[in-house]
Structure 1
Amino acid sequence: MSTRSRAALLGAVAAAAALTLSACGSGGTSGGGGDTNFVTGNSGIDTVKKGERSQAPALSGRTIDGKTADIADYRGKVVVLNVWGSWCGPCREEAKYFAKVSKAYAGKGVQFVGINTRDTSTTPALAFEKANGITYPSLYDPTGKLMLRFPKGTLNPQLIPSTLVLDRDGKPAARALQALDDTALLKMLKPVLAEK
């Protein structure tokens, strides 16, 4: 094997290992350096004060059921954005809580949206949603391009699962880089929903 081939192979292996290690994590640290304006609480939930939030990037595209969705269409509502994959154990653990809270808050100015990532087809993603009673839309993002739209140093989704709560202006207000139960999810959602 030539030196060039060996270097290319080692590079590919390193990249695959990095993707594997970052996938389906149970926690993490904030990205970016400098003054990010967000604070990590002892519950692992990062928050940003209302006047210091930055706009979320454009997030739109095809959903796993073949429709289209655009986060901008939900401006005026609080949006719970959950990044998940059907292959992810912690995602399976939290799915029932997301289904429960999304139904309880459906008529209260809250919209849940999923971002399904790293599933090679929509078949397992659709089966996951059906098995867990998830009725809200999920954007299909097999390569993680939507996650990469968030600037470094902001409340960006860095792991799978990640959950963001966007305020009524479409700005990330809270983030968790771990699986959530209904209590933790509501701890993120209720303060943003109470904002005027």
Structure 2
Amino acid sequence: MSLSRAPRRTRRTLVAVGMLSAAALTLSACGGDSNGKSGGGGNTNFVTNTGGISTVAKGERAATGKLAGETLDGKQLDVAGLKGKVVVLNVWGSWCGPCRAEAPHFAKVAADLEGQGVEFVGLNTRDPNKQPALAFEEDYGVPYPSLYDPQGKLILFGFPKGTLNPQAIPSTVVLDKEGRIAARSLMALDEKKLRSMIEPLLKEK
């Protein structure tokens, strides 16, 4: 059967599969972590421990590119304006099972650390409209904003090559108080692992 003669639902499915295949070339959806001992190769200066969390020494960190735009609730947000605080950037999608698994932990830690020099920002991606993402935030009591990035442009261009950039969904990147990329995880996190990425940066002078 030709595509032109296929039932409408089948055509939509084929188109959707094609779009997802193209997206997978740039960002692995709901990917796991390789648990490798070192990261990236080339001139990268980060190390991945056995827990799958990569870190960069204080003197070797790079700044992000521009991470700014409209949030799911229609406001404008620029991550650069959060300098002076530790910033937790969480890449997620409402359709992603591991994202749902980690969401309660993120909501709890964000609430626990409110007013303690930590800001959480979500990067919502691959949701073609906002409604499922807004429902996700309501379901899990997410207390922080998320930039709406359905095509993944912020994710692809907001992190310089050779840095700890998001490479999977979910991914979590933590910025130090100077706005530099300090730690990354490419897997769903529980409360303990999430705190282990944040607390050392809070202690830095």
Compute the TM-score of the two structures, normalised by the length of structure 1. 0.89
Distance 2:56 2:32 in 1: 22
| Alignment partner of 1:90 out of 85, 91, 98 | 98
Secondary structure of 1:65's partner? coil
Runs of 4+ with >6 A deviation: 12-15
- Aligned-pair distance for 1:31? 6.9
Cα deviation per residue 1:115-134 (whole Å; 9 max; x = unaligned)? Answer: 00000100000000000000
1:9 aligned residue: none
2:137 aligned residue: 129
Aligned residues of 1:82 and 1:114 also touching (Cα < 8 A): yes
Distance 1:14 1:34 in 2: 32
Distance 1:13 1:69 in 2: 32
| Alignment partner of 1:110 out of 94, 115, 118 | 118
- Aligned-pair distance for 1:153? 1.6
Secondary structure of 1:187's partner? helix
Distance 1:59 1:120 in 2: 19
Compute the TM-score of the two structures, normalised by the length of structure 2. 0.85
Distance 2:20 2:204 in 1: 42
Aligned residues of 1:31 and 1:153 also touching (Cα < 8 A): no
Unmatched segments (≥5 aa) in structure 2: 1-15
Unmatched segments (≥5 aa) in structure 1: 1-11
Question: Aligned pair 1:64/2:72, yes or no?
Answer: yes
Cα deviation per residue 1:4-31 (whole Å; 9 max; x = unaligned)? Answer: xxxxxxxx97774353482111224787
Question: Aligned pair 1:24/2:30, yes or no?
Answer: yes
TM-align CA RMSD: 1.9
Shift in CA distance, 14/126, structure 1 to aligned 2, threshold 3 Å: closer
Distance 1:113 1:13 in 2: 29
